[in-house]
Amino acid sequence: MILEGLVTTLNDDGSPHLAPMGPIVDAAFTTLTLRPFSTSTTGRNLLERRQGVFHLTDDVLLLTQAAIGVLPSFPLHRDAATVTGKILTGCCSAYEFTIHHVDTSTERHVLGATIVETHRMRDFVGFNRAKHAVLEAAIHATRFFLLDRMTVVADYSRFQAIVDKTGDEPEREAMALLWEKFHSAFGSNPT
């Protein structure tokens, strides 16, 4: 199954890097298959250091900010226990991993990873409809280059209606950021 979450890695200067990612996770939650783009910072960091931390969170505003590159600051974190990396303290759970398999033959690297340490910070209570809508809209935003304007307008309008009905302030703020990203990518004309 694919689980959407956040991956932290370390840059060359030792600073932390955060990116959304949807790895394939085995049923026992012991391995991950990560598929970063070859041009991404996360992909370069994972190839160089062969370790990182995958986080599950219900904070769709944080996921959105990371997806579209508008984090106001790096989230609160602490050092990982087993790998050289950072654990986001506001997430529900964190999974330290090491890379054991690398395939760089395609545009998206395929990196097999073993989970070496698990941390549970708080319960994951799930996503309501608004959080699901924001998550889908954020994924769209990372793929604007593959989508046509009219498809995105239709989908974003549907996502916005769901957020308006069932969302709270963080979901509304996330959708506002995503609409800004849409307008910068496609222009402000709605059609």
Across the beta sheet with 110-120, what order do the strands follow?
16-21, 5-10, 51-56, 93-103, 110-120, 31-34, 24-25
- Amino acid letter, residue 89: T
Residue 191 resides in a domain: no
The boundaries of the domain holding residue 139 are 129-186
Shared domain for 9 and 88, answered yes or no, is yes
**Residue 189 — pLDDT band, cuts 50, 70, 90?**
low
Average pLDDT over residues 172-184: 96
142 and 102 within one domain: no
Could you tell me which of 188, 187, 184, 191 has the C-alpha nearest to residue 69?
184
Q: What is the pLDDT of residues 9-30, one digit of tens each?
A: 999 999 999 999 999 999 999 9
Query: Which whole number is the average pLDDT over 159-178?
Result: 97
**Mean pLDDT on 95-121:** 97
Query: With 60 as the cut, is the pLDDT of residue 190 above it?
Result: no
Nearest CA to 18 out of 88, 82, 98 is that of 88
> Is residue 49 domain-shared with residue 114, that is, in the same domain?
yes
* Predicted confidence band of residue 76 (pLDDT cuts 50, 70, 90): very high
DSSP-derived 3-state class of residue 104: coil
At residue 156, what is the residue type? Answer: Y
Residues 176 and 134 in one domain: yes
* Total domain count, the chain: 2
Cβ atoms 52, 7 nearer than 8 A: yes
The DSSP letter of residue 34 is E
Q: Are residues 170 and 89 in the same domain?
A: no
Same domain (yes/no): 95, 151: no
Average pLDDT, the chain: 95
